[in-house]
Chain A
Amino acid sequence: MISASGLTRRFGSRLVVDDVSFEVERSEILALLGPNGAGKTTTMRMLAGLIAPTSGSVKIDGVGLTRATGTLLRGRIGFLTESPGVWDRLTVRENLQIYSGLYGLAHADRAIDRTLALFEMTPQASTRTAELSKGTRQKVALARALLHEPRILLLDEPTSALDPEITRSFRALLDERRAAGCAILLSTHNLDEAERLADRVAVIDGRLLALDRPSVLRQRLRTGRVIVRVVGDPGAHLDVVRQFDREAAIEGDTIVLRLTEAERTTPALVSALTAANARIVEIRQEVPALEDVYLHLMDDR
């Protein structure tokens, strides 16, 4: 488990990360969302023990991350940096061999073979990484981060260079790591990815703007808008709907209204429409996408 408490980082007079606190539990994926320059990478680096916070603290499995404990604790973390950072003149296997030595793995060859198989890279094991595509290099970097089977994974923009097929297998891999008990923090611009993968989402822009499950965040932005689609002309049933909201209006082939207590009022609306011989195709509450929530939070900064 990894926890950040009041993390603050200044570079000179520039405040990059301001009092950010969160925890990532075992078997949890937390997505760190934020615009460019929001402090995501700086936060990741502080959590990986690469830079020290100006104030605040990081704990890994309950142990404070300090200069003294850094060497030991870094061994428990798998960190995927923003760029793959693989050694170009070395083969895929050699890259992994060096890192297995750096992590002091006892059964390095076994771990490397397992990781290569996991990423379906065994055929490319003897290829120099300079000859690989950007996406495959990113895969090598991911393999490197997972080589020592860390309990904590910090992934900075992990799928930014991956094609959809590899992205899908990568997501499956993260699911598997989560099931195996890993605490995973991933920073991303990809809201769809955050929504699909993350148990919780932290939106930051220097400071923490929101931290919750995606469904809860979406709930916050509920507008109360209800969309009604019927067979035939929707205008024929507008009067019935206006009994519930005098401002109800036609939008395209639907009727849109606002209900302050949609859960309680919607059954009555259905009954009224049915009584008026409306053939209902659908009635649904408008649920904002995570993107809407994100943009709303950014607008409110």
Chain B
Amino acid sequence: MMMRGWRALLRKEFLDLVRNRTVLLPVGVITIIALMLAFGITIVQPALTGQRLSEDSDLRRVSALVIADGNLSGDGRVQLFLFEQFLLLFLVIPITGAMALAAHAVVGEKQAGTLEPLLATPITTFELLVAKVLGALIPTFVISLIGLALYLAGIVIVAEPGVAGAMLSARTAVLILIVGPAVALVALQAAIVISSRVNDARTAQQFGAVIVIPLSALLVAQFMGAVWLSSTGLAWIGLGLFSFWLLLTLLSVALFERESILTRWR
């Protein structure tokens, strides 16, 4: 009987989302905005104004600092720099979208009156929390991956020669496959902890939004050229984040007090 409950609960989460697809609409909208922003700034705006990206001294300087590919043209180098920056947006998208779902995960069940019968089953706290995190992460991550595929396809089609090839690097793979999911897991697990400690979904969501701040700071720092992490550095960060997620999961199990959730929340 052990370790079956999370699959059943995860199925419930998916069914719930399928019946309430509008919850995922903001994730889709953010993905489209991120795509428009990236191509608008990197491709459309220079084409409309007639001003080449490499003519901007700041962009030229910052991109030269972090991009060492000698085969790229000046414009190609700046494009690669900008496209690498916008890649980070695709890490944030599943988090912002899933945050609302995760923040609602426990407190939502409580408010709907569905938590008590659920807790009366043999499901363990660990299983419950895992199902809730994956239930929030997987759908939004899939949308984000679709956006990412469109993003890379767009780069192949419209970017300077060599940019798409340079994008398909170990660094990008680490960013997408390790750092992205790890950051999302940490953020969502934190949101679940918050969701199981507050008695109102709005409060949980507001606390959850705070988690996006460090990611936004990283995004800005990269844009300014203040931070540029190599693939090895990113892999270590990813590993660290996965470890932190495991710790956070254990912490969330310890902090999940069935009693107070059932008896003190109104």
A contact residues vs B (CB 8 Å cutoff): 11, 42, 45, 48-52, 71-72, 74-75, 77, 79, 81, 83-90, 94, 97-104, 128, 141, 144-145
Contact = CB atoms under 8 A, between A and B. Distances in A.
Given A71-B124, A81-B116, A102 B15 contact: no
B20 to A, nearest CB: 6
Interface of B: 1-2, 4-5, 7-9, 11-12, 15-16, 19-20, 112-124, 258-259, 262-263
Contacts of B19: 89-90, 128
A87 B114 contact: yes
Given A72-B1, A90-B12, 19 more contacts: A50-B120, A71-B2, A72-B122, A74-B120, A74-B121, A77-B120, A79-B117, A84-B113, A85-B116, A85-B118, A87-B114, A88-B112, A90-B19, A97-B8, A102-B5, A102-B9, A102-B122, A103-B122, A128-B19
Contacts of A81: 113, 116-117, 120
A188 B117 CA distance: 18
B259 A50 contact: yes
A85 B258 contact: no
A89 B20 contact: yes
A101 B5 contact: yes
A85 B112 contact: yes
> Among the interface residues B4, B16, B117, B123, which one has the most CB atoms of the partner chain A within 10 A?
B117
A100 B105 CA distance: 21
Q: Is the interface of B mostly helix, strand, loop or mixed?
A: helix
Contacts of B9: 98, 101-102
Contacts of B16: 87, 89-90
22 contacts: A42-B263, A45-B263, A50-B259, A51-B259, A52-B259, A72-B1, A74-B122, A77-B120, A81-B120, A83-B113, A85-B115, A87-B16, A89-B15, A90-B16, A90-B19, A94-B15, A98-B8, A99-B121, A101-B11, A102-B5, A103-B1, A141-B117
